[in-house]
Amino acid sequence: MSELELGQRLGKHQIQRLLGRGGMGEVYLATHVVSGGEVAIKVLSAKSARDPVLVERFSNEARAVNRIQHESIVSVLDLDWLPDGRPFIVMEHLDGSSLTKALRGGPLPPPVMARLAGEVLAALDAAHRAGIVHRDLKPDNVHVTSAGRVKILDFGIAKLMGDSTVPALTRSREVLGTPHYMAPEQITGARHVDARTDLYALGVILFEGVTGRPPFHATSIFELFKLHLDAAPPWPRQLQPALSPAYEAVILRALEKDPARRFASAAEMAAALRAASESPAPQPPAPLGVSAQVDPLATTSPDDGQEVTVRDPAPGQATVRRPAGAPPADPSTTPTLARPRRDTIKGH
């Protein structure tokens, strides 16, 4: 049996209860036997522990987080192994919930989303300066504490650049990530994955955060990949009229197909987002004697994405861009995007 027993001791910690379970293992709440302080313990499942690549990705999370050490990234306190050979990570225990749960009630106010994204960008800036690309940024991996602060989770498939001691963490012709949030270069493998790949994922999160849905929906993973590769995203202000043009421009620039057309760094994107969040949205004209009000379009949050590993995807070639300064697209010409089917090939 791979699950830990309640009351079981792992070093100086005692298991209290199961917090969650995923494809790669379980997470438990535990307490320090002396101080009583709470921690979260993440344990790799017995099945995953038989795969050397998955074991390496699991250990990679602890190495990546300790290399960055930023207040908006969950702290890893220890990495150890069970008697049966499975690794486990001791992490700080977080209250609050994931951004995914926060979005289930619909879009967040643009200023709130800008503040949360600003904290994510500060953490990404620290990671990128440490030579680390997250590669799986998504609402599930953005935790919002009860105090409203951000913590980024799960650096398991992070790319540690410039470190010859870290083995390759991808098998031949694999694509790693979560389809709704993957940049074109991540899908095709045709370009070098770097910091701008994380900025694309944050562009998707920003779009979803202020409109209530991701920019692209499809009935299969490969159709979704093709949209990321070929289709221009809808204009966010068509879905959220309370958004300012400057805020919209930040999102669309982060979602550029060509990495060279995105922000060059997390710091640059953060500065643009700060400036945009201070720019008021234009108010529609009101009838005489009636105060102008904006009634944002309320939408239902999409299903949570699942991380997948896809072998030999069919890469797309064409890139569709909206010319600079062009007027918003006619909504009647905007592609109809079906609600996604939860196709999970491999993941947790």
CA 231 centroid distance within chain = 21
Phi/psi at 175 (nearest 5 deg)? -115, 125
Q: What is the mean pLDDT of residues 126-152?
A: 94
Handedness of CA 248, 326, 337, 152 (dihedral sign): negative
145: phi then psi, degrees, rounded to nearest 5: -70, 170
pLDDT tops 60 at residue 106: yes
8-17, 65-74, 262-271: which is most confident: 262-271
| Res 293 pLDDT > 70 | no
Please answer whether residues 18 and 28 qualify as being in contact, where contact means their C-beta atoms are separated by less than 8 angstroms.
yes
**How far is it, in rounded angstroms, from Cα 160 to Cα 169?**
10
275, 237 contact by CB (below 8 A):
no
Give buried/exposed letters for 62-90 (b at 16+ CB in 10 A, else e).
bbbbebbebebbbebbebeebeeebbbbb
DSSP for residue 332: G
Mean pLDDT across the stretch 295-322? 40
Count of residues in the chain: 348
Residue 206 clears pLDDT 70, i.e. is over it: yes
- Chain-centre distance of CA 209, in angstroms? 12
Residue 80 C-alpha from the chain's centroid: 27
What is residue 196's predicted lDDT score, i.e. its pLDDT?
A: 96
Active site members: 136
CA 183 to CA 136: how far, in whole Å? Answer: 10
**How much is the CA Rg of the chain, to the nearest whole Å?**
21
pTM confidence score: 0.77
Task: Give CA 40 to chain center in angstroms.
Answer: 21
d(CA 65, CA 74): 8
Indicate the pLDDT class of residue 4, thresholds 50, 70 and 90: confident
Per-residue pLDDT tens digits for 225-244:
999 999 999 999 999 998 99
Cα–Cα distance, 240 to 209 (Å, whole number) = 10
Q: Cβ atoms within 10 A of the Cβ of 148, count?
A: 11
Residue 284, pLDDT > 70, answer no
Distance CA 36, CA 238 (A): 51
Mean pLDDT of 146-153: 94
Task: List, in order of start, the domains of the chain with CATH numbers.
Answer: 9-92 (3.30.200.20), 97-333 (1.10.510.10)
Place of tokens 């940049």: 183
Helices (H), the chain: 46-49, 52-68, 99-103, 110-129, 184-188, 195-211, 221-230, 236-239, 245-254, 266-277
Name residues whose C-beta falls within 8 Å of residue 251's C-beta, 6 or more positions apart in sequence: 203, 206, 207, 210, 236
